[in-house]
Structure 1
Amino acid sequence: MAHDLYQRPTLTADLLLRAYAAGIFPMSESRDDPDLFWVDPQRRGIIPLNGFHISHSLARRIRAAPFDIRVDTDFRGTVAGCADREETWINAEIFELYQQLHAAGYAHSMEVWDGPMLVGGVYGVTLGAAFFGESMFSRRTDASKIALAYLVSRLRYGGFQLFDTQFVTDHLIRLGAVEISRAEYHRRLERALDWEADFLAQPQPVTPQEILHLRTQTS
């Protein structure tokens, strides 16, 4: 007698939000792998919102204002840019789920434009006063760093308390990212979920001087 094959429950945008609230997030092994797995790292990466590092060279780039910085004008393109690499954990299902979260107002993109071209950016998910950074990309020198600087300014302005980067890399550590334990992360997440924040509160455009104010406060 034939047996039905087990099918995992369909991952919905609502389930994804509940997973974030529980401190876990989905990944896939590759863009072509239809399977997903949940991740709750023992060591979690965060960027303290009062500890973002702007180096002298990055400050010069921001001051020169070579790019146009936009919010949520091409969320789909930003996620596509993040997935446009040899190895990515963003498969088709994850890609579409974030489009649904964006349409519902829970996912946002900070974008770096060079004329008509999207050349860098970062996107993530908001819940309460927590921002869950998902991925970033750069097609111009320092584009992702500039996107992060503008993102930190926006999170601070909007009243956010937690900027989750999931993991740390050498790139993020140079910008101020640190690792904390899983237990400490969950404590901070619980506090952040009890507060309200507004990702869209900061008026546009934001001047380079406003971004460099972060440096004077944290360097």
Structure 2
Amino acid sequence: MKYTITHIKGGTDNCYLVSDGKNAVLFDTASGEYLQQVIDECGKYDLKLIVLSHPHFDHAENADALSKKFNVPVAYNEADDGIFDDYNSQPLYSYGIVGFVVLKASLKVLSQTKVIRPENRFFVKEGDTLADYGFPDIKVVELPGHSNGSIGLLVSDDAMLVGDALDNWIRPATAHLYTDLEAEKKTVEKIRSFGKRTYYYGHGKPTDKF
């Protein structure tokens, strides 16, 4: 099935609505200041599910509020569950000037922001589909590196939501922030193995290559 992917921009952060025209899945939720904007976009569809690429504040701060607002569950990978209790459970490192600047800004906000673990939640893993929510051909892909439990979604044959496994701050690149560099390198090769498609990043505009 062909899906429409709607970009919801929350400052420098991206979240996406994947829709069949009536029903939708929200991928990431942006940070708290953009809650109403995300509510307005989600309200245009019958929202079935929220999927988090990982629980950092700029992707997950609105997850619990949106879950309660639309009475839908939140899915993420179990390896990242501890981040809700302590973001330092998975320390972040950086490379390059861009990474240094982003990390410095991120750590300040991370230390000041409490992301609420969604009450209505469940875990997903590699190969799971969203069939129970009306999207049987959307598949979960594990993309560790930026965080241990980072995930993306394969949407049909021509699109992939990658969260922060890649970023496009200046140009498409390996994530400038990482928890595990070796895992991140393997994730990049894994993404490449899926072949040419449009990549939807957690930061930056979508591209058809990286």
TM-score past 0.5 threshold: no
Q: Which has the higher contact order (CA 8 A, sep 6+)?
A: 1
Higher-helix-fraction structure: 1
When the two structures are superposed, what TM-score results if normalisation uses the length of structure 2? Answer: 0.35
Give TM-score scaled by structure 1 length: 0.34
Q: Which of structures 1 and 2 has the bigger CA Rg?
A: 1
Structure that is richer in strand per residue: 2
